[in-house]
Every structure is written in C-alpha cells, then in structure tokens.
Amino acid sequence: MIKVIFFAALREELGCGGTEISATNVNTVAEVKLALGQQNNDWQHYLTNNSLLCAVNHQMVNRDFSVKAGDEVAFFPPVTGG
Amino acid sequence: MNMTSLINNYPEISIQTEDFDHGVEVNLLEKHNVEDGAVVTFSGRVRNNNLGLKVRGLFLEHYPDMTEKLLAEIIETAKQRWNIGRVKVIHRIGQLAIGEQIVFVGVTSKHRQDAFAANEFIMDFLKVKAPFWKKELTELGESWLEAKTSDKEKAQAWSK
C-alpha cells in the first residue's frame, strides 16, 4: 500500500486528511493522483489543480517521480508560513 | 555549563504551539558566545489587516515530519554560504491572535554582514519551502492564504 496525506486547503476540499491506495500499477506521483481520482470522482477536480505540490517521503518531487509500496505521498498547496 | 555542552544541547529548530520569549532567545544566542560580535534577529507577528480586510486571527498548519527536515536543510545551506555562529528558528503552529508572535529567526556571526544576510536568506527560504500554511480569519470569514509571487521572486534572487 501507499500512504497518501493531504494538507491545508486541499485537506478541506477533499474532506479527508489521508488515505491508502494499492501500489499495484501505480508507479509515479501522476499515477497516484489518477488512482485517487478513480477511487473518488469528486476529488478529480481538486487533484488536477496545477499549483498542487507533492512530497514523497518528505522530499519535494515532481509528477514523474517514482513511488512504491510503503512510500508516504503528500499533496498540498503552495506553502504560506513565516 | 561549558561552551561545548551548551552548543550541543542548543536546539536550532523549534516548532511549537506555545509563545516564545524574544529576550530569552537573544540571551541564548549570546550566552557563552564571545566569538561572535553580531546578533541579528527577525520576528514576525500576526497583523490586524491583510489585502484591505480586518484580520481577527490566524491558524497555522504544518507537515510535522517534513518541516524540521526542510528548515535544517535551509540552515545548513546558510552555514555553507556565510561564516555564521549560532542559529535559532522558532515557528508557531495552531491558533494565533492579533499581535502574537509567529516566527523567530536569530543568527550570530563575527561581523554583521554575515548575520544580516544569513538571517534574511533563512527567512526568505522558510517562506517558500517550509511546509506551513496559514488560514486567516477576517471580517468575511475564514480562508487559506495564497502564496505570493513576490516571496518566490525574493527567494529566487539569492541564486542570481
């Protein structure tokens, strides 16, 4: 399984702080998004937002980054701390 | 306490819900530190206005396991680029009222130029890299703040 977590505005839009998806046929960050959208049609609109950022195991990555079972994949909007 | 143990026990990063004492933090940067003549601190507070609206408060969320890692990387980059001594970064999370402190960055160095530059560098990259998000409570209700292009440009300017 792949652990997926959401933060801030995205967490509220999806109404969910996180979930797990099967790692079968999911090899990249882009495919994680695709699998999430297939599981829940209401999420597709929010997950296709181009400004969303992604971290895999706490490292910032792009949509082509490889993922595997056991990874933690986080999606979130641009950061606004400080 | 000798200097070595003080430095070993001095946490450079703190993410916390509770407030901090600016004076205590400056003392910790200076204590048993006679090599450095310069101490530069920045602190950010919740202001009562944004984009023409009255602000009533802020809520700060973060990505717990990632925030400290990112901040440590930013501090390490600053240490490689400038000759600096001690560094302290504090960032608060949770519900914050108007006037409350949000963030503290303190840097010491032998001379002022390194401390000024490193402090600004750390703050600029904290703004665009560290996974914190602000939700603002205004007279119109709650909304998540949007990242500013000007902050991104400010951070990018360091690589020019």
Structural domain that includes position B20: 10-159
Among A9, A77, A81, beta carbon nearest to B91: A81
- Whose tokens are 């999911």? That residue is A26
B5 within some domain:
no
Contacts of B127 in chain A (CB under 8 A): 79, 81-82
Topology (CATH) of A2-76: Ubiquitin-like (UB roll) (3.10.20)
Report the pLDDT averaged over residues B138-146: 95
Task: Count the domains in chain B.
Answer: 1
The type of residue at B38 is: A
B29 found inside a domain: yes
Give tens-digit pLDDT for B59-81. Answer: 999 999 899 999 999 999 999 99
Q: Flag whether B26 is in a domain.
A: yes
The pLDDT value recorded for residue A43 is 96
Sequence spans of domains, chain A: 2-76
| B144–A82 C-beta distance less than 8 A | no
Residue A61 parent element (H or E): strand A59-61
Flag if A79 and B135 touch (Cβ within 8 Å): no
- Select the residue of A9, A58, A82 nearest B66 (Cβ to Cβ): A58
Using a pLDDT cut of 90, give the percent of chain B over it.
Answer: 92
Q: pLDDT confidence of B15, banded at 50, 70, 90?
A: very high
What averages of pLDDT result for each successive group of 10 residues across chain A (82 residues)? 98 97 96 95 93 97 97 98 97
CA distance A82 to chain B (A): 5
ipTM confidence score: 0.95
Cα angle: B128, vertex B114, B109; to 5 degrees: 115
User: What is the DSSP code (8-state) at residue B102?
Assistant: E
Burial code (b: 16+ CB inside 10 Å, e: under 16) for A3-27 equals ebbbbbbbbebbeeeebebebeebe
The CATH number of residue B71's host domain is: 3.90.1170.40
A74–B66 C-beta distance less than 8 A = yes
Which residues in chain B are closer than 8 Å to A58, comparing Cβ atoms? 63, 65-66, 69
Asked if the structure places residue B1 within a domain, the reply is no
Extract the runs of DSSP E, i.e. beta strands, from B3-146: 13-16, 38-45, 49-50, 53-62, 84-92, 94-97, 101-109, 132-138, 141-144
Q: B9: helix, coil or strand?
A: coil
Q: What is the dihedral of CA A3, A40, B63, B92, to 10 degrees?
A: -150
Q: Which residues of A touch B130 (CB under 8 A)?
A: 79, 81-82
Q: Is residue B4 part of a domain?
A: no
Q: Judge whether A78 is closer than 8 Å to chain B, CB to CB.
A: yes
